[in-house]
Amino acid sequence: MLNIVLLGPPGAGKGTQAELIVKKYNIPQISTGDIFRANIKGGTELGKKAQSYMDKGELVPDELVVDLVRDRLNQDDCADGFMLDGFPRTVFQAEELDKMMKERNLSITKVLNIEVEASKLIDRIAGRRVCRSCGATYNINTKPTAKEGICDVCGGEVYQRADDNRDTVENRISVYNSQTAPLVEYYTKAGNLATINGDQPMDSVFSDIVKVLGE
Ligand code: ADP
Ligand code: ADP
Ligand code: ZN
């Protein structure tokens, strides 16, 4: 069973690698960012609460995130493993995740820490485009769609996220450095951190991940 956490700054390639991991290992991807965006689109209470934080590039408060992840991990499709993308993002969230795992007699198999230099993240995020229907990730520079504005996978509309503008991005990177980067030490101490060089072509990053997770 694989219980994976993807760690890394915004733009490191978590979502991109998640798509590949899901296909190969057949485990569900749990992206807290995707869940919040779906709630904003659906006009839910949670979406309304999360939106103002996301627009500024701040983290959504822990208490809005933790219960949501606990509920998601309780669903049947997580029984044989899962991959968390974008959670935990604070030491508090990591401690809560440890408790959830303990309650289930489970553990986190690997934390994949995808590293990319800060200077490259900003260009990656500025070029990011996402499918509104299926969530597939593209990049106008490094991974364009075959037809402009149309998702290769599902034919949906491809758009730029509201928070993928240069002002917000800089704040998101500094929020990452102050609130999320301490998790590198947290999981190094726990003994399950694997560092992945994210500054390579996407398929090379993925083959390094497969080396860590096993065929
Ligand atoms: P994250 O989920 O960590 O924020 P994404 O997977 O959405 O990151 O990637 C951010 C942007 O960078 C996307 O536009 C994606 O297509 C692009 N990208 C991802 N991995 C690479 C890579 N190895 N090389 C170049 N561009 C990449
Ligand atoms: P990226 O792929 O660029 O890292 P995400 O889609 O993971 O971005 O997250 C977008 C936004 O959603 C974050 O800037 C933050 O406001 C909110 N968010 C997502 N996951 C969490 C979390 N675990 N804790 C707090 N806020 C979160
Ligand atoms: Zn699509």
Q: Is residue 147 classed as helix, strand or coil in its secondary structure?
A: strand
Q: Is the pLDDT of residue 167 over 90?
A: no
Asked, for residue 184, whether it belongs to a domain, the answer is: yes
Domain count, the chain: 1
Per the prediction, the chain carries an average pLDDT of 96
As a whole number, mean pLDDT of residues 66-76 equals 95
| 207 phi and psi angles, rounded to 5 deg | -70, -30
Q: Indicate which residue's Cα is closest to atom 4 of ligand 2.
A: 10
CB 65 less than 6 A from any atom of ligand 2: yes
Name the pTM for this structure. 0.95
Phi and psi based region of residue 105 (left: phi greater than 0; alpha: psi -120 to 50; beta: remaining): left
Range of the domain at 193: 2-27+80-117+167-213
The residue contributing the CA closest to ligand 2 atom 3 is 10
Give a yes or no: residue 23 inside a domain.
yes
Q: Is residue 209 part of a domain?
A: yes
Verify whether residue 161 is a known catalytic residue.
yes
54 domain-assigned: no
pLDDT of residue 215: 87
In a domain, 44, yes or no: no
The yes-or-no verdict on residue 76 having pLDDT over 90 is yes
Residue 91 lies in a domain: yes
Q: How does pLDDT run across 170-195, given as a tens digit for each residue?
A: 999 999 999 999 999 999 999 999 99
CATH of the domain at 171: 3.40.50.300
Is 39 part of any domain? no
pLDDT band, residue 125 (cuts 50/70/90): very high
Is any ligand 2 atom within 6 A of the Cβ of residue 10?
yes
Instruction: Write out the residues surrounding ion ligand 3, Cβ under 5 A.
Output: 131, 133-134, 136, 151, 153-154, 156
Q: Does residue 142 sit within a domain? A: no
> Does the annotation count 172 as an active-site position?
yes
Dihedral (Cα; 38, 55, 182, 10), 10-degree rounding:
70
Mean local confidence (pLDDT), 159-170: 91
* Ligand 1 mean position, distance from CA 36 (Å): 19
Radius of gyration in angstroms for the set of CA atoms belonging to the chain, rounded to a whole number: 16
Phi, psi of 106 (to 5 degrees): -120, 175
